[in-house]
Structure 1
Amino acid sequence: MLAEVSKNVFLHASQNKALNKAAKKWGLRFGAAQVVAGDTIEHAIKKVRELNEKGLVCTLDHLGEFVSSREEAIEATQYNVRTLEAMGQAGVTCNLSVKMTQLGLDIDRSFCVENMRRILETAKKYDNFVRIDMEDYAHCQMTLDILRELRETFDNVGTVIQAYLFRAEQDVKELKGIPLRLVKGAYQESPTVAFQDKAQIDENYMRIIEEHLLSGTYTAIASHDHHIIAKVKEFAHKNNIPRTQFEFQMLYGFRTDMQLSLAKEGYTMRVYVPFGNDWFGYFMRRLAERPQNVAFALKGFFSK
């Protein structure tokens, strides 16, 4: 009960615009520096290089979402373009994740698509890949519609499917052939559209992972759950699915020992590396996901 209350508090805080605005002035505090790789591109590239040297590949995410003006969206687009250019020039093994609400999705759909095309053109120039992050349920269908539109021109773009949504299995079937990151889900969604029970979410998660792997499509399994990871290994082995067809993904700052262990076993292990000064919403969702993360954050705060 207490854990559920705590989760709701953090999820509500993640969407509080006043707190998000204030957090930009605070800097990386309250343990956030342990899970956010700095506030500039230079800081992020340095972290990526360090991770690459340990045998880990990465994806960078310039934090920010739900912008309210075209100017903010254009600035975010330009920043993502510069991030791709910096990755290419640095020669690091890393791709990019973006949120379309940061690129103006709530302002104007065609404006957002235009910004996405600019980012994808830059990524193509550097032979790189861009993942469209899935946001809350209200943005799910429009995200998938835009993905399909972009895939008509670009093959270097994919998205994310959240296992807690009832629609997830059908979406995975319809997106056969498109690289997907499969996750459990981190937003607070209504019981009318999403599973609320952990066991049901886990069951659906394995169902969509197996569906996508069996389709022969490249699959990113984003989870810190060692039970899920063990099941994926076993399933891939039994079904002769090559390790080149899938990868594991985890968040920067979490379960680092397991990340290194998977890489040493020969699996592709990708670290999701967020950066930037708009870190508050991301950090609150990480605290909401697991009660252990709260203790983790407090430990980081008091060790400063």
Structure 2
Amino acid sequence: MSVDKRKTIFDKLLGSDIKAELLIFFHRNPSFSGSLNDLASKINKPIEEVEKAVEDFVKLGLLNEVKHYYFDPEADKELQNLVLEDLTKEESKSTFELIKDVEKTNIEVLDKLLPDGFPPSGLILILSDPAAGKDILSIQILCTKIAVGRKGLFITLDKFPDEIRDFMLEFGFNSSVFEKENKLVFIDCYSPQVGIKSKEKYSEDPLNFPNLSILISRVLKELNSPIVVFDSLSTLLQKGGVRSSLEFLRSLTGKIKESKALCFVTLNRRAFHPAILAASEEIVDGVIEMKVEETEGKVENYIRVFKMMRRRHSSSWLPYIIDVEKGLLPKT
């Protein structure tokens, strides 16, 4: 698929926040059938704006128009496959840089998937099912890197920083030691959301994109090439709008590369339409996927590296277990 054709598809799918909201609505209600008034009422938007978005969806074949609009899951799957197939082809064509110094991740389950380790800088998306352990993995990565000398930054949108500190302690990592030496810094974006004054040195409303962007740039400069965790993009997409959040993600990717940092951004892959996930995947440098499957009454966890620029990686699903003290481990 050409770049222009892919851009046309993305524009028709995600060209406005209303389109994104419609996609999320249909993703959660695939059997919906109703009038334009019904749709506008469901997402609480002006009917004139909804009509413009619906017209593009009809042209794509995503909606079938009679007297009512109803979602076509088969057309949706075809569009998903088209976008994902194209992303996979692009990744397979990419060339790997000559790697002289391979730095292992020091996390066994990831070392099996990334023989060359992480790139020195870039933005990596952790795309995960609920309860698959994305919080554990992101903290595991951060603590492991800080322990060997790299500084860390945790931008939390979903929990109080003290909850993260307690979580780290469960893995035997005492954050206070590193915070005193300015080797670990928190940006509290959760307290402003719940109306509580933050006790952290750095705090910002995550929906104030300009101020948050300025604060992140300042802290990145102070820490000098840190490991960063941004938890989570899901909150931005749900509260700040899809288009604005994706633009913020694109801007963050640039800031991370400029500062030679390595950032891990978490995202719940079950909460959003695949087109939104694909748009996020296209922006970032790497994608780690985590899924939960239930077969014959047993719940199994799987992980793979779907994309990692300039690094060899395995896109095959690897089973793993979650150890409350050691984190993610390969299933033996």
- TM-score normalised by length of structure 1: 0.35
Q: For the pair shown, which has the larger CA radius of gyration, 1 or 2? A: 2
Name which structure has the greater RCO, CA cutoff 8 Å, separation 6+.
1
- TM-score normalised by length of structure 2: 0.33
Normalized per residue, which structure has more helix? 1
